[in-house]
Amino acid sequence: MDAVSNGYRQRVGIADRSPMTVGVEEEFLLLDASSGNNLAVADQVLAQLTGQALEQSRHEFRQSMIEMVTPVCSDLTQLREQLTAARAVAAAAAAAAGARLVAVGATPIREADITRPAAERYERIIRQFGPVALDPALCGCHVHVGVPDRELAVQVCNHLRPWLPVIQAIAANSPFRAGADTGYASWRSIQLERWPSLGPSPYFADAAEYDRTVEQLITAGVMLDAGMVLWYARPSARYPTVEVRVADVAPTADDAVLVAGLVRALAATVLDDIRAGLPAPRLRSSLLGAAHWRAAHDGLEGQLLDPATGELRPAWDVVDDLLSFVGPALIRDGGLETVIAGTDRLRIEGTGAERQRRVHRRRGDIRDVLAYLAGETSVDA
């Protein structure tokens, strides 16, 4: 990649700068160890946490979920340490509450109790969106990359659009629903399509157009507020970051680091392009949507659609394109060895979805998959 790096630097005239910061939000399910059903014990789990772990924890839309949030990190080593520690503490707290902490993108068997935390906003969401808000719980991995300039953040989201289906495929980790294989690598992605404010990020000329559009969608009732912008990439409503929300929660901390490392390198690469005056690709929304559907269906075990050309290609060829694209940023900012090791591991072991299916094929019992996932969730502790 040295030749790629040198050519890239000459092309865009990259100035020396500090690596972009990164942080990760991970949502987890709380499952019954014997039945595999979701358990509504989030209050009991969070009550076990103290100190930094408590500060990093969040209620989610269901009592059968919790979220753990890392601090702002400057490198992938620090990020891995934070993810590993948070998973270990949360898994121990879940066990004390009689549950398993499981990193899986969609409810795998059944959610009999759909109790929500007591919050008026959640009740407003249910009143507005009805049964869509009562679908079985889903868990994602949200990656934040520091982009303090809001105009730049909007442009970064524009430039990320063609690459996010690849991230989605890499992160696929939810093949099961109601105890059966859905045929999709990321059922979470398919279930989420019922929400009207979710999907591929639209193209915006500037931050003013972004803000006008969000206000119009709030007026239309598609969103309650700016916090309900659920596009796959968005300027964060709370932090000076770009937030990428396309990934299923990762089965292991190392898988989460891989996704975060690729997202940070992508953001750094497109930011250099923006500063060099290179325009964002203008993609047809129909092809971009199709690329995301294909990523959700196949993961890395089939083919992906190039949204710029409409061409179907082997998934790993597209991943290799992504690695070439972000290689210079990984060399410059750090993380190259981590990302290459992570992708090499996926070439051998498969995505989280494929690993789940491999376990399931042994005996055909979904509970074997959930026991495996529970071990993977905090395997690095």
Task: Look at residue 114 in the predicted model and tell me its pLDDT.
Answer: 83
Tokens of 186: 């990321």
298 phi and psi angles, rounded to 5 deg = -95, -25
Q: Identify which of 206, 94, 232, 211 has the alpha carbon closest to the alpha carbon of residue 153.
A: 206
Angle between helices 253-275 and 150-160 (to 10 degrees): 110
- CA–CA separation, 37 and 32 (whole Å): 5
Helices (H), the chain: 2-12, 42-47, 51-55, 76-96, 120-129, 150-160, 164-170, 187-192, 207-220, 253-275, 285-298, 315-333, 336-349, 352-363, 366-377
**Which own/partner pairs from 126-130 qualify as long-range (CB within 8 Å, at least 24 positions apart)?**
128/221, 128/224, 129/195, 129/196
- CA–CA separation, 139 and 247 (whole Å): 9
* Amino acid, res. 117: P
Task: Look at residue 380 in the predicted model and tell me its pLDDT.
Answer: 60
Task: Look at residue 1 in the predicted model and tell me its pLDDT.
Answer: 36
- CA–CA separation, 178 and 375 (whole Å): 21
Q: Identify which of 287, 83, 77, 300 has the alpha carbon closest to the alpha carbon of residue 170.
A: 300
- Give exposure, 71-91, as e/b (b: 16+ Cβ within 10 Å): eebebbeebbebbbbbbbbbb
Residue appearing with tokens 């702002």: 72
Tell me the CATH architecture of domain 2-377: 2-Layer Sandwich (3.30)
- Can you give the pTM of this predicted structure? 0.94
**Distances from the Cα of 72 to the Cα of 17, 146, 381, angstroms:** 18, 9, 20
Contact at 8 Å (CB) between 161 and 200? yes
Residue pLDDT tens, the chain, 381 long:
333 333 333 333 344 478 999 999 999 999 999 999 999 999 999 999 999 999 999 999 899 999 999 999 999 999 999 999 999 999 999 999 999 999 999 999 999 888 777 778 888 999 999 999 999 999 999 999 999 899 999 999 999 999 999 999 999 999 999 999 999 999 999 999 999 999 999 999 999 999 999 999 999 999 999 989 999 999 988 889 999 999 999 999 999 999 999 999 999 999 999 999 999 999 999 999 999 999 999 999 999 999 989 999 999 999 999 999 999 999 999 999 999 999 999 999 999 999 999 999 999 999 999 999 999 999 764
- CA–CA separation, 93 and 77 (whole Å): 25
